[in-house]
Structure 1
Amino acid sequence: MPGLAWFNSAGEADARTTLHELCAARAWGSALLARRPYESPEELLHASDKATAALGAAGVADAMAGHPPIGRPKPGDLASAREQRGMVGASEELKADMLELNLAYQDRFGHVFLICATGLSAGQLRDAVRHRIDNSPEREREIVRQELAKINRLRLTRLMEKGDPTA
């Protein structure tokens, strides 16, 4: 895969910047950089899973800081806009529900609602936050870590498929 070759051979600063765009947790990026070069995409994805699982509370908080609320991707954040595309055609009522649910979730857990939104409809996203808002904080931390791992895998896979991100 062209992106894996680029990642393995890129200068540390370029590779670190690219990883930070994929996941804002610096510890995650550092862990992936430390194991270069990777022989296969699967090896890189496995390293990502391990690095995500190893994130402490501060690392997860760093990662979360890089994710906008569902339904409100940051202007110019193409990855989030692509991943949240299920919200694009949502009715104004559903968008208002999501805003209310996002705020309630943030009040309860202290961070944005994180879900691997790729391929999910607006209704599925709304239902997911409704379902998860009653979780215990411990259960929700576990789910957030799982969702973060999925997002990191999707973003790394996209990087490996497209090649040099600076081209």
Structure 2
Amino acid sequence: MTSTDTPPGLARFNALAEHTARAALHEMCAATAWAGHLLAHRPYATADDLYAAGDAAMAGLTAEDLAEAMAGHPPIGRPTPGDPVSAREQRGMAGASAELRAELLELNLAYQDRFGQVFLICATGKTAAQMRDAVRERISHTPEREREIVRTELGKINRIRLARLVEGDA
């Protein structure tokens, strides 16, 4: 692929100074190891190369790295105020009833008590009821099983965010 075939957002990312690229990646995923892996493999010829690097970095995250990544995510139903990314990703909560919001808050708190972290789900395209049902189901998992589900969900979120970067919307 020639440089003229590289998507404009990806070309911009490849050209960023390291500290600027690191900050952009940190906005996507708070895990330092994940960002470091992606930075180490720049420049990317294709979006698929970037996605593959993101997937490889996600697979290599330790439990501590996952905890670091989780610290950057707001609870479902409470997007970060003033953050359009958080609001967009949790759009499915917009029409939720007060009862559903209260139930989800209660489930989120129970999940946090059980696992010591916020409930993480790739909320893009999901309704509030689907997210509630997911936390209901996942709260009974073992910590080990839940950690792997979190890794998968975080990988989905990161891919969506990387795609936005490639498209120039990040």
Q: TM-score normalised to the size of structure 1?
A: 0.96
Does residue 1:77 correspond to 2:118, yes or no? no
What residue ranges of structure 1 are gaps of 5+ in the alignment? none
The match for 2:35 among 21, 26, 29 is 29
Q: Partners of 1:76 and 1:3 in 2: how far apart?
A: 24
Q: 1:133 aligns with which of 136, 139, 158?
A: 139
User: Is 1:110 aligned to residue 102 of structure 2?
Assistant: no
CA distance in 2, matches of 1:57, 1:127: 25
Count of residue pairs brought into register by the alignment: 164
Counterpart in 2 of 1:18? 24
CA distance in 1, matches of 2:105, 2:88: 19
Residue 78 of structure 1, CA deviation = 1.6
Give the letter for the 1:27 counterpart: A
Instruction: Report what 1:67 is aligned to.
Output: 73
TM-score (norm 2): 0.94
Residue aligning to 1:54:
60
Q: Secondary structure at the match of 2:35?
A: helix
Q: Is structure 2 residue 86 aligned with structure 1 residue 86?
A: no
Percent identity among equivalent residues? 66
CA displacement, residues 51-85 of structure 1 (integer Å, 9 cap, x when unaligned): 01101111101100000000001112221110100
The Cα offsets for residues 18-69 of structure 1, whole Å up to 9 and x where unpaired, read as 0000101111001000000111000100100010110111110110000000
Greater length-normalized contact order (CA 8 Å, ≥ 6 residues apart): 1
Distance 1:26 1:4 in 2: 20
Separation in 1 of the partners of 2:91 and 2:150?
A: 20
> Please, which of 112, 129, 144 is the counterpart of residue 150 of structure 2?
144
- 1:121 counterpart residue number: 127
Q: What is the rounded CA distance, in whole Å, between the counterparts of 1:100 and 1:159 in structure 2? A: 34
Cα distance in 2 between the residues matched to 1:79 and 1:60 = 20
Q: Distance in 2 between matches of 1:92 and 1:3?
A: 39
Q: Distance in 1 between matches of 2:8 and 2:106?
A: 42
> Could you say what secondary structure the match of 2:120 adopts?
coil
What residue number does 1:42 align with? 48
| 1: CA distance, partners of 2:153 / 2:83 | 19
Displaced runs of 4 or more, over 2 A: none
Q: Unaligned 5+ residue runs, structure 2?
A: 1-6
